Structure 1
Amino acid sequence: MAKLLDGYHAEPGAATVDLLLCEAHQQQKLLQNGQADVALLHLPFDSAVGLDTEILYTEGQVVILPTFHPLASRSQIRVAEVTALPELPMARWPGPGGSYPEGPGAEVRNLTQLFQLIALGRTTVIMPESASNDLRRDLAAVPVLDAPPVTTVIAWPSQSRLRAVADLLRVATRL
């Protein structure tokens, strides 16, 4: 995000960018109702239905564990090993309608909640590798070999004709 914003800001005639930080699965709604002009989505987690997209990058996934957990020192792990941990059920995120899927894992809405619950040994999560860039010292990230890759895209409403959006897209694809 910082690299994209800095690159766009350096462009002649760049428009002011106001950031709208939101909870999981809100980006599509914000684009569709005109509250946002562009959004970063993570496929396959977010829906891009009805939006135009440009791929920015694809990455692997990691499991986030408390550092005291025996698996935290592993160099890699498989999804089946993570989902078989009864002491660390997978965290549950709200869906697009705001309801949580059934299951034993903690209900979370943001990374602050999630990372605190993981540090306390209450839950775990498999997420894009980039989410582990600045982890707290009491958390560890272990690559998950067989987790599907995550593709980050920049998305915008297909009817958009804003020059600022086109300029931002040009910078995003260049970077």
Structure 2
Amino acid sequence: MEDVETRELRYFVAVAEELHFGRAAERLGIAQPPLSRAIRRLEHRLGVALLDRTSHGSRLTPAGEVLLAEGRTALDAVAAATRRAQRAGPRARLVLAMKPGGDAGLLPRILASYEERPDALPVELAFSLGDRAAMLRDGRADVGLLHHPQNDLRGLATEELAVERRVLAIADTHPLAARDALRLADLAGVPVPQFPEAAHREPGPVVGDVAELMQLVALGRAVALVTESAAQRPARGVTYRPVLDAAPATLVLAWPESSRSREVAAFVTAARRAVAPPATGTT
């Protein structure tokens, strides 16, 4: 059997996600008839039906569901390989994905440790609240600072850097602000915003950036669980209270499990050295 081409996978993924040939063709920037023919040829070559076509539209067959999942992974891998190859060119660099302030104060030490290496590459910071893990998977970033268990770390290798307690950011005027300490049960029915890449979604609004989050908190429209290091950056109208039974946030350095990059390995080693406790002498 012949290998499936990247173009065919891209066509199929578009059709499978839209479940409508017209919308998929528009998304791909091609006419509908050649797209339909391409999918028919793909089904013939694979020897399986990928779509059930009815007068009411299309739906995926079990084989189509498998190819959609695997096809997305394959397309991400091709995109990642292309981006990483481009970054390894004459202007080679290392891209670190992180959210603003999401380094527990460790980034200066990590960068200084890495830059001691004579072969260190320039480190480019890519700030994101919504898709740091996705950036690592699709090659837009080489390493990233994420949190466990708050982020989805599937497919990523990690190195633990720090464990932080989480506290509640709350409006000065909120009734709960009068308490010295809280428990998660006290937050029942209170909107708790989440960032788009949260691994475990709970009821509550999805916010796009830290400024938006703090504005909602200051207005009393929501409360937010944040790390202790984030609480050290004051926001007008916001106070912080400990939450005694909130799970801690573990800051990790993450990179793709499949990575064989010597530059990534060197950065991980430098980060590990930067956060290691100082050796104590013996007498």
Contact 1:83 1:90 in 2 (8 A): no
Higher RCO (CA-CA < 8 Å; seq separation 6+): 1
Q: 2:102 corresponds to which residue? A: none
- Amino acid aligned to 2:207: V
CA distance in 2, matches of 1:156, 1:95: 16
The reply on whether 1:22 has 2:128 as its aligned counterpart is yes
| Partner Cα distance (1:33, 1:107) in 2 | 23
TM-aligned CA distance change 1:95 to 1:20, over 3 Å: closer
Partner of 1:80 in structure 2?
185
TM value normalised by structure 1? 0.84
- 1:11-160 to structure 2, matched below 5 A, reads 11-24=117-130, 26-85=131-190, 89-95=191-197, 103=203, 105-160=204-259
Moved over 3 A (4+): none
Deviation at 1:45, TM superposition (A): 1.1
SS in 1 for 2:124: coil
Distance 1:118 1:58 in 2: 24
- Partner Cα separation in structure 2 for residue 150 and residue 22 of structure 1: 18
Deviations 1:12-47 (A, max 9, x none): 3321001111123x1221111111100111111111
Cα shift at 1:71 = 2.7
Q: Report the residue type matching 1:93 in the other structure.
A: F
User: What runs of 5+ residues in structure 1 fail to find an aligned partner?
Assistant: none
**Superposition RMSD in Å:** 2.1
Larger-gyration structure (1/2): 2
Contact 1:106 1:122 in 2 (8 A): no
Gaps of 5+ in 2: 1-106, 276-283
1:171 is aligned, of 260, 265, 270, to: 270
How far off is 1:56 after superposition? 0.6
Identity %: 38
Alpha carbons of 1:111 and 1:20: their partners in 2 closer, same or farther (altered >3 Å)? Answer: same
**Shift in Å, 1:95:** 4.6
> Deviations 1:126-175 (Å, cap 9, x if unpaired)?
12222212121321111111011111110111222222212211121122
Q: Number of aligned pairs?
A: 167
Which residue does 1:4 correspond to in 2? 110
Deviations 1:75-129 (A, max 9, x none): 32111112354xxx222433579xxx674x4331111100011111111111222
